Structure 1
């Protein structure tokens, strides 16, 4: 709320004009005004020296008047007119060569453009915002074509501000980024979820492993015939209560009979036994 009868103090204005001498018989007001004019030069010099850093102060410490100090600073940082024109030429060339990179966002690209534009404006050249908008629209990548076409249909691009354009393009970027994140998340979940065939295969494998483990545990007990583990009793070669069908001997089964491998040796004995039986039969008949 503005208070009545209050006005902000005007900033001091300094000039480098030497005050005129006092007239004869000056008044008190004239003496006071003359003193103020004489102290303006010292106030200006104090303001310049206090507003610069220590490094810059060493460059103007030998100046006697504020005008000398100001000209020294102007030459140091702004340069001569020829230097300023060369800087403007380089900045204009940089502005024309600006293009948006693939990994950049719209706001990052606009910040790069405004850095060059502000440097041009600091050198005293006028730079319209319409020119900046045209630069942004003409250098955007192909992925923004749909949004630019939509803006052309709904807005007058010659009157749109740079802030509105950047915000509209940034909103499209955010929507595209959100869709990409959702797609990546869905692909990751589908990849991490096992398929039904893999589950069935794992279940079948576990069943086989379990049956083998149960069988091995079952055969860990020693056989009651041969007193050795690792086989069922029905398959044991040593069977005291079994008669071999091949050699007619007790204590083993036919598949482990050692007489099976000796057919040539056993054949004469069988023939001799058969011959004795025949002879005995003929004798009994006589």
Structure 2
């Protein structure tokens, strides 16, 4: 039964790292990758070749043109103008690689940056094991796309050494049942996830302990969130001070109601029975209080002298 691979998506200038993998597989399926990789002409025919040898030689020479046709038809017209002057599929392939992945020096610098990024990866407290593993594999895949080898054992070691303390018991359980030096990255992630599911099932079977722990955590959280009464009062007072009211008809300010404006002609001061201000802002009251203190002090001094 013949197999015809589907055409890869047309490369229009974006996601080159995805297109190049699909294109390479496509060319390999058609037995055309060798002419892109090496660009070596088939050896010339010997004297008195047979019909089979002539046919085979013709097919080998045609591979170069078939690969070129695949590359030209799997890129957009804008990209085609950049490889239309290339004489061989290898030259066209290298041209695209240099433009969209950079030169060898640029790629080497990218690898260095990605390796540094990999070394600095750590799991966040808010992350799940799947989210963290996705971040790690995204960085590793970018390194591998640049042609650098990156072993699974190194990725596994990175995960184990950067997991938070809450995974320590799970790692210990895995060490008792598996050889972590031979486990693959995806086996590690799936095993950690399976342990999590198993513990969740145990908590469902014995909900009392889980509920007690949850209530204890909720109580601690509520205690932390609850503030003393004087802090709440102070906050309410500050919030009230920031409130805005309709403009006062007397002073035009918006930080108080009209009834609390105490310099009105219709208000009688209870201290001196005079109109024009409230006793709370009466300056005469302060003077009277001061005079009373002075008189009391003088009386005490006279009594002491007698």
Structure 1-normalised TM-score? 0.51
**Following the alignment from structure 1 to structure 2, what is the Cα–Cα distance between the partners of residues 149 and 24?**
71
After superposition, residues 74-85 of structure 1 pair within 5 angstroms as 74-85=97-108
Structure 1 residue runs without a partner (length 5+): 1-8, 189-286
Give the 3 Å change call, closer, same or farther, for CA 64–170 of structure 1 in structure 2. same
The aligned length equals 180
Closer, same or farther in 2 for the Cα pair 1:168/1:22, shift >3 Å?
closer
Note the C-alpha offset of 1:53.
4.0
The aligned counterpart of 2:224 is: none
Counterpart of 2:166 (choices 143, 156, 165) is 143
State whether structure 2 residue 143 is matched by structure 1 residue 120.
yes
Give the match's secondary structure for 2:183.
coil
Offset at 1:157? 2.4
**Cα gap change, 1:55/1:105 in structure 2, threshold over 3 Å: closer, same or farther?**
farther
Q: Aligned equivalents of 1:19 and 1:152: distance in 2? A: 55
- Tell me what 2:186 maps to: 163
CA deviation after TM superposition for structure 1 residue 135, in Å: 0.8
Corresponding residue for 2:69? 46
**Counterparts of 1:152 and 1:24 in 2: how far apart (Å)?**
67
Q: Map residues 53-132 of structure 1 onto 2, 5 A cutoff.
A: 53-132=76-155
Deviates more, 1:21-30 or 1:77-86: 21-30
- Offset from partner CA, 1:16-42 (integer Å, 9 cap, x none): 455788899887556645644553332
Change (3 A) 1:60 1:140: same
- In the alignment, the residues of structure 2 paired with residue 67 and residue 31 of structure 1 have an alpha-carbon distance, to the nearest angstrom, of 25
Structure 1 residues 31, 108: CA separation in 2 closer, same or farther (over 3 Å shift)? Answer: same
Alpha-carbon distance in structure 1 between the residues aligned to 2:173 and 2:213:
30
Give the whole-Å Cα distance in 2 for the aligned partners of 1:109 and 1:148: 16
Q: Deviations over 1:31-77 (max 9, x none)?
A: 64564455333222102112334443232123233232122122123
1:1-286 aligned within 5 A = 11-12=31-32, 13-14=34-35, 16-17=39-40, 32=55, 35-175=58-198, 179=203
C-alpha distance in 2 between matches for 1:164 and 1:24: 58
Unaligned runs of 5+ in 2: 1-28, 216-306
Residue in 1 that maps onto 2:287? none
Comparing both chains, which one has the higher relative contact order based on Cα–Cα distances under 8 Å and sequence gaps of 6 or more?
2
Structure 1 pair 142–60 and aligned structure 2 pair: CA distance change class (3 A): same
Cα separation, 1, equivalents of 2:89 and 2:119: 40
TM-score, scaled to structure 2: 0.48
CA RMSD of aligned residues (A): 3.7
Alpha-carbon shift at residue 103 of structure 1 (Å)? 2.0
